Structure 1
């Protein structure tokens, strides 16, 4: 049964409002369990007006499985005259999914017994899709923050720090103690003036902020970090906020710039890893270095450095570095490899 409004002028106005607001109205008689739907209600379900008998069962058939009420719950709601307000997903016959929000009111008889309910169904799909997209973006941002293993921070247009992500996780300290301009106290005294000057210049020019400086660690030592930030601009060109990242570069700053300066001997593990970085076979490395394949295999069979002086290491190192590999010899820990 189609819910109508008396008067042709009122009917046209009613249809206009439903169409423009993507809404539909309904009513439910608690005694007979019969429903009435407006044209707009049918449209929200993706049905032609009058094509089916209005019923809760029809709505359930179109409802997303995860949004269906448990068996018997609707009868309990009707019997007790409880509100029917909720959000649900409808899968229209054409396969299109719509988010719908129901707003209702229960009418009671003189004795206070539930008599009937009236409601309006609103299409809130755009709002829900926007909210879901925002949630997904925030989830990706949180994952990115974790993956960077760095401090990600935001600052007000005037440069005052608003938030620092990963600070508690990586340092075990409360980031609230660094908000505003308190972070400056962590910067090494010798780097402080240069850091503040670079930050002031970035704020004034609205250009990218890049600086390398040392910050104090929880144990009192200092480590080199690189801080970078970029402004987020409003349509007017004014800065809405700054988003920055501070990453540890201490090893790069204190280790020798090249493996030639490092006091280390290539290990078999480094040779294997270097070939993996370049996706080279033993044969390809042999051709590039002039070292026999059997020698390369012998050296790679040992995870550490060879037991004696090995002349073949120099041409192997030269060939691999020439192809874009950098060998690392940290002051502590295992030697490493990375793309140059």
Structure 2
């Protein structure tokens, strides 16, 4: 939602568009357009971001600012306000034009991302556990706190994560990881890493390919945690692991449950032919059908467990 407003300084006329009234939670034209009214609706902690009445009359307005508005019904919205002063040939301010855009959802998403980054950073500082992503260019997106813990530049470990591994294990781990990345397959390995305080820690590192619903490879998501720690739940890693389930995993799971293909079809809400294609690996890895089948098997008590040799084990119970 957006809106616009203007103020002709010489005559004092102020005009708000219907959209601007609605942004403020007001019925269009039911209230008089007035800059003081706008200021009164802005959150008290944000009012300093808007120019005062005197500053506006002198043409001193910021080109853009973001403020919270408390509507008459009590709801809070975040508005991005843009302002421009117009001047006469003699340099006197004659009018102010403004526009507004509701950016509440964008700001809330930004806050959620910041909180998630803070939480992940704190988790590595305290537990040395981190979820991360790997781009198509093989750049690893690690929390900044990982660089602090290991005493290495953040940019360096993002470009070369193997720099954290002790030299005697580094090359073998790197070769194994890159082989699976090139194959676009699941990888799991362990390695010893030296921390900045001199301690030697044994880590488990898992990376899993991520594909879109059309099966296009998007990169990888990963998880790093001390070997002695239980692997924490990760929604992103969980779905990526489900994508790593292949036809022989499905057949093994059915055997543990004593299910036929038709049983799996009924449990997952799919056709018999779709289950057959999944078990023949003729469906691409990112298909929603694969995720439906895996979800049905999990509900029935099947677990898919990543093993240290980089394979997925199938278990019941």
Alpha-carbon separation, structure 2, partners of 1:139 and 1:157: 25
Residue 239 (structure 1) aligns with? 217
Residue 293 (structure 1) aligns with? none
Relative to the length of structure 1, the TM-score reads 0.55
Q: How many residues are aligned here?
A: 227
Q: Which residue, 8, 12, 17 being the options, matches 1:38?
A: 17
1:144 and 2:123 correspond = yes
Residue 4 (structure 2) aligns with? 25
Relative contact order, higher structure (CA 8 A, sep 6+): 2
Residue 180 (structure 2) aligns with? 201
1:1-340 equivalence runs, <5 A: 22-69=1-48, 73-84=51-62, 85-150=64-129, 154-157=133-136, 160-165=138-143, 166-178=145-157, 180=159, 183=162, 186-187=165-166, 189=168, 192-193=171-172, 196-197=175-176, 200-201=179-180, 203-207=182-186, 209-215=187-193, 224-249=202-227
Alpha-carbon separation, structure 2, partners of 1:142 and 1:49: 46
Name the CA shift for 1:244/1:148 in 2 (closer, same or farther; >3 Å): farther
The Cα RMSD (Å) is 3.6
Alpha-carbon separation, structure 2, partners of 1:102 and 1:221: 51
Relative to the length of structure 2, the TM-score reads 0.58
Alpha-carbon separation, structure 2, partners of 1:175 and 1:100: 35
Q: Give unmatched runs, 5+ long, in structure 1.
A: 1-21, 252-340
Name the CA shift for 1:196/1:27 in 2 (closer, same or farther; >3 Å): same
CA contact (8 A) 1:64 1:91 kept: yes
Larger Rg: 1
Alpha-carbon separation, structure 2, partners of 1:185 and 1:96: 48
The alpha-carbon deviation at position 81 of structure 1 amounts to 0.9
